[in-house]
Amino acid sequence: MPALLTTNLGPTPLVGRGKVRDLYAVDGKLLLVATDRISAFDHVLATGIPDKGKILTQMSLFWFELVKDVVPNHLIAATVSEYPASLRKYADQLEGRSMLVKRAAMFPVECVARGYLTGSGWKEYREAGTVCSIRLPAGLMDGSRLPQPLFTPATKAEDGAHDENISYGEVEKLLGTNLAEELRRLTLAIYRKAAKHAESRGLILADTKFEFGKTAEGVILADEVLTPDSSRFWDGEAWKPGGAQASFDKQFVRDYLEEIHWNKQAPAPALPEDVVERTRAKYHEAFRKLTGREIEV
């Protein structure tokens, strides 16, 4: 089946299109549809990855169920037969890749948990010995396990821009002391539970980011959760600090774009078939390893 790059739900009001998801307003609720678009270096590429949107959605549903005792989430339904009748004619675009969710007032902070030193955290550590202003022991390497998981928040960037790491003090200024502490507690509690499950499946959850919002009932977990797009999953057996790790994400795509010396400016290039297939296989493998089942396509 070809990649689904965009959706069209007729008269259903479109709220916006993100790098991956199309968002619709439905009877006071929101409909999130994960397309097969893929982005790299802050640009959406011309080629999609078949099944990617279904994998992201069904993986999020798996994790929402696993961590629901830690924090409630925004999910109302994820089966088209349970959606309003006006949406059912679009089942070919929605089944397996969409979620009907509660509206929430979203907090303007990316809640990042890090159990390992890599990415922007490794860059800051090399320069200053810190991550988000948290002092770390000397002698750590790229890929090292941290003494304990860290809450390292970031600002939510506008489309096309990088999230910027901020200190915990800045989160307190944005949200207040009590809410900042609640988000830190929830972020680390979800991370620890998810990391323990991943480890039982032979994977390392190096880091991940969550989005939280508030409804009349209180704080809820929203958006996607613990997917290869929002998290770094590494092969536990292959893990070796000191460099890049064997990962379950879009690394094949990034590597290809570096090989062709793309200038990282629009328009983004198309991907060759072998890069698409290898990336698709990696997403399938991540889903299979984490959930113990095959994706429903």
Number of domain units in the chain: 2
d(CA 86, CA 292): 34
Residues 58 and 167 in one domain: no
Q: Is the predicted pLDDT of residue 159 greater than 60, yes or no? A: no
Model confidence, pTM: 0.94
Task: Supply the range of the domain harboring residue 155.
Answer: 105-235
Residues 211 and 148 in one domain: yes
Q: CATH number for the domain including 139?
A: 3.30.470.20
Check residue 161 and give its pLDDT. Answer: 57
For residue 160, pLDDT beyond 60 = no
Q: What is the pLDDT of residues 66-81, one digit of tens each?
A: 999 999 999 999 999 9
Residue pair 207/112 in contact by the 8 Å Cβ criterion: yes
Q: Which of 184, 206, 235 is the last residue of a domain?
A: 235
For the segment 95-123, what is each residue's pLDDT rounded down to a tens digit?
999 999 999 999 999 999 999 999 889 99
Using 50, 70 and 90 to split pLDDT, how confident is the model at 158? low
> What value does the mean pLDDT take over residues 161-183?
91
Instruction: Let me know whether 96 and 174 are in one domain.
Output: no
Instruction: Supply the CATH number for residue 86's domain.
Output: 3.30.200.20
